Amino acid sequence: MRSVHNIRLAGDNLSGSVLRGAFVVVFGVTGFLLGREAYFSVFSPHFASEGLQLTFLILSPVAGAIIGALLAPFAQALFEGQLQQAEGAMERLSPAEIAGGAVGLIVGLLVAFLIKSIIFEMISSAGKAGTYIAIVLYLIVAIFAAYLGARIGAKIRIVPVPRNIGGSAQGGVAKIVDTSAIVDGRIVEIVESGFLEGVLIIPRFVLRELQTISDSVDPLKRTRGRRGFDVLSRLQELAVFEISERDYDDMAPGNVDARLVRLAQDLGAKLVTNDYNLNRVAHVEGVGVLNVNELANAVKPVVLPGEELHVAVIREGKELHQGIGYLEDGTMIVVEHGRRLIGEETDVIVTSVLQTVAGRMIFARPKREGVAP
């Protein structure tokens, strides 16, 4: 691993040296030519002495080359900064926006090329200075047309992109995991069991939200946030795991749900969540949702009235005569006349099953006779 890192570091240094050399050469040659042109246009007509003319003929290009070489590092730093910003912007764009922007860029450059002859015919008649002005104007028009075309193309998404671009090489559709599912933690067992296929995508803005929770002054929230990072560590070991850098600056900073839905639409992916409100919004927007709570309720064993269960009564119920117990999957059982059985294990007969928003609740009565409040 250390040798691979050293090779990569050496490659980066080599590419940086080549880029610096290219900037120095380009700016040095440009300064040399501009200095030579400045001598013939400005200095030469004012010198009667041949010695001064020869001196400035040599010094002007050399001074221009030196100035150009000194300006090269600043231009390189500006170029690399703009390149990093462009890379960051590209990562936040959807494939459809990138394709549309590329087409718009090409169209803008074609438009600028078509009007080039008009610009040169209007200005180049003023002589050599007019030619330079025409070149500068053409470059400005070309840059403006390319930028405008790229922006318009990205907005209207000229090129349609298939919706299943979020599919993974493993044959499953990519899954975007939200903060609630990470903090819940049951997604680890679901992945281990093989019920969740495809790439798991964690957006960078979800990581920021998780970091905010883990830094909270509330001890409970802080514990949940740190547990979420432990869950992420487990997921990295179990599944194909990606962090998406794509963000949407046109949305409110705290609107994570809207960002998740937008990202799922752009990638053709599904959302993995426990959030009821996000679930509803995603369904309205036509985004597939995998709700961990719904999965947990779906795999619970079916219990019918009349069946016998063995349960430990652990506490009192809402009514004075009731006792409360739980099955292994967490389903609550309300035992009628079970108050006196608290702390004991007993057989009960199911009388009814009630499905609530919070989950399933089973009502039962003790099987053995003689149990009364």
At the topology level, CATH places domain 308-366 in: OB fold (Dihydrolipoamide Acetyltransferase, E2P) (2.40.50)
- In 115-171, which residue ranges form alpha helices assigned H by DSSP? 116-123, 128-156
Mean confidence (pLDDT) of the chain: 75
Contact predicate 26/56, CB 8 Å: no
Per cent of the chain over pLDDT 90 is 0
User: Taking 50 as the threshold, does the pLDDT of residue 3 lie above it?
Assistant: no
Residue 276: predicted pLDDT = 83
- What's the rounded Cα separation, in Å, for the pair 113 and 16? 33
Residue 92: predicted pLDDT = 59
- What's the rounded Cα separation, in Å, for the pair 17 and 19? 5
pLDDT in tens, 276-319: 888 888 888 888 888 887 777 777 777 888 888 888 888 888 88
pLDDT in tens, 106-155: 887 787 777 777 766 666 555 555 565 666 666 777 777 767 776 776 66
Q: DSSP letters along 227-278, please?
A: HHHHHHHHHHHHS-EEEE----TTS-TT-HHHHHHHHHHHHT-EEEE--HHH
User: Taking 50 as the threshold, does the pLDDT of residue 86 lie above it?
Assistant: yes
Residue 134: predicted pLDDT = 65
- What's the rounded Cα separation, in Å, for the pair 266 and 263? 5
Residue 64: predicted pLDDT = 74
Question: What 3-state DSSP class applies to 219?
Answer: helix
User: Taking 80 as the threshold, does the pLDDT of residue 183 lie above it?
Assistant: yes
- In 93-127, which residue ranges form alpha helices assigned H by DSSP? 95-114, 116-123
Residue 129: predicted pLDDT = 54
Maximum alpha-carbon separation in the chain: 130
Class at the top of the CATH hierarchy for domain 164-297:
alpha beta
Asked if the domains at 164-297 and 308-366 fall in one CATH topology, the answer is: no
Give residue limits of the domains in the chain: 97-161, 164-297, 308-366
Assign 256 a pLDDT band (cuts: 50, 70, 90).
confident
Question: What 3-state DSSP class applies to 16?
Answer: helix
pLDDT in tens, 218-247: 888 888 888 888 888 888 887 777 888 877
Residue 184: predicted pLDDT = 86
More confident residue, 170 or 336: 336
The single residue listed with the structure tokens 């994570």 is: 256
- The β-bridge partners of 359 are 356
CA-angle at 294, arms to 290 and 296, nearest 5°:
110
pLDDT in tens, 8-61: 444 455 555 776 777 777 777 777 777 776 666 655 555 556 666 667 667 777
